[in-house]
Homo-oligomer: A and B are copies of this chain.
Amino acid sequence: MSFHLSDTELEELRSILAAGGVAGTQARLAKLHPADMAELLNRLEVNEAVRVYEILPDEPAAEALLLLDDEVREKILEKLTPQEIAEQVIENLDSDDAADVIAELPDEQQDKVLSHVEDSEQAGEIADLLNYDPDTAGGLMDKEFIAVHVNQNVWECIREIRKQAEEVESVYSIYVIDEEGKLLGLLSLKSVLTKSLRTPVRDVYNPNVISVKVNTPKEEVAMIMRKYDLVVVPVVDALGRLAGRITIDDVVDVMQEEAEKDMQMLSGISVYSEQQKNRVWSLSRARIPWLLVGLAGGVLGSRIIGTYESQIQIHPEMAFFIPLIGAMGGNVGVQSSAIVVQGLANNSIQPGDMVPKLLRELAVGLVNGLICSLLILGYNLLVSDSMNLCVTVSVALFSVILFASFLGTFVPLTLSRMKLDPALATGPFVTTVNDIIGMTIYFLVGRLMYSA
């Protein structure tokens, strides 16, 4: 009873398509859920996908178009005239999705497409939506909401809802507004269905409604909807007038993007352009900045070690443990910073929690530093003749772990206090600084021990 497309089915379809039987699969394809159509099209070659798209029924195809890789969508839209885009695509979409498709078109084509949208109300709504910043509530909202006036009664509401519902795919909430369009509250479907028909809306609506403003950043919209378990949230303009609604499906995508962006930044990957995600050059460009920072850190490290050249010549065993000191500082720093970045992202840590978080991470660093340095001490006592080396490695390792715990906590909290994204400079930056400081500590301790 599910539309779900299994891997074998997908392979089967692909092989039928490969054998040239596009028309033969039409009936089967037409029954697919738009999300499955998109999955299939995304796995085909671009030209193959364009050919298959043409034989799909308009309505699910329009929905599928939204989910296609940008490259495929571009190619498909290029093949359609403005009138075809308006009639086959735009008129089959909700206003927010329609605006997203139009926003991707070249400027001069946008107006042409809009002029071919037959329903002038829909065209007006889309034109409105195009004005909002895509990273704000205005850019996420759609216009398919149901609103009733506070002076109506339940019976008038039901008539109003029946009228409006023809254009609204899914009814989640009924909004109550005043004469000026200001949002006053919510009317639950439950009260519509259970209250007597003559009850005035004024007596049964719930004035405690959580709303967002058109210019609320999309990350904040996601945070609010997640915190308050909302399926839909109304959007109001500067005057408090109801401007649209945001449904959870759009916000789920925002949340996923946020989590993925954080993980990428922690891994040293900047601006990851989805547009050209398969081109080697754009992948390389997204990764090179942090590699260059690492390279500069490595050069700095080489200069620090260089000042101890004569010491290494006399005690080459000092060089053996350079990778261990570097790696452990890096590992501990990444652990602390990942926990802090994640806590800041899910609001379980506040930017002001500096002192308690630092103390906690330092306590963890103390425990783990002790364990690790005692273990390495035991190992060195067994295999090495040099007591100096044994003590140097363990003291340096302990200090480096403690310092890395501090830095991994301090950097993201400080960035967050400065209203910068804590994930921005945390991962590779913390690792690189830890490497440099680690080498300094190691050779300083070494000089002290060997000269003692």
Contact = CB atoms under 8 A, between A and B. Distances in A.
Contacts of A338: 263-264, 266-267, 269
A268 B226 CA distance: 27
A317 B324 contact: no
Contact of A189 (B2, B165, B224, B330): B165
A364 B262 contact: no
The A interface is mostly helix, strand or loop, or mixed, namely helix
Contacts of A320: 301-303, 305-306, 309
Contacts of A313: 313, 316
Contacts of A439: 323
20 contacts: A1-B185, A1-B210, A3-B208, A4-B210, A33-B210, A35-B229, A170-B231, A226-B252, A260-B342, A264-B339, A267-B335, A267-B338, A278-B360, A280-B364, A287-B335, A291-B328, A299-B324, A302-B324, A305-B320, A330-B431
A231 B256 contact: no
Given A165-B194, A379-B299, A2 B312 contact: no
Contact of A252 (B248, B268, B339, B432): B248
A376 B317 contact: no
Given A193-B162, A231-B249, A299-B379, A1 B211 contact: yes
Interface stretch (A47-55, A121-129, A367-375): A367-375
Interface in A313-352: 313, 316-328, 330-332, 334-335, 337-339, 342, 346, 350
A269 to B, nearest CB: 6
Interface of A: 1-4, 7, 33, 35, 39, 158, 161-162, 165-166, 168-172, 183, 185, 188-190, 193-194, 207-211, 224, 226-231, 240, 247-249, 252, 255-256, 259-260, 262-264, 266-269, 278, 280-281, 283-284, 287-288, 290-292, 294-295, 297-299, 301-303, 305-306, 309-310, 312-313, 316-328, 330-332, 334-335, 337-339, 342, 346, 350, 360, 363-364, 367-368, 371-372, 375-376, 379, 427-428, 431-432, 435, 438-439
A189 B342 CA distance: 40
A438 B322 CA distance: 13
A420 to B, nearest CB: 19
A1 B166 CA distance: 30
Given A231-B231, A252-B226, A319-B322, A294 B331 contact: yes
A301 to B, nearest CB: 4
A367 B368 CA distance: 38
Given A292-B375, A297-B327, A306-B317, 18 more contacts: A1-B183, A1-B240, A7-B350, A33-B208, A165-B190, A169-B190, A231-B249, A248-B252, A263-B338, A264-B339, A268-B335, A280-B363, A280-B367, A290-B335, A299-B379, A310-B316, A319-B319, A327-B330
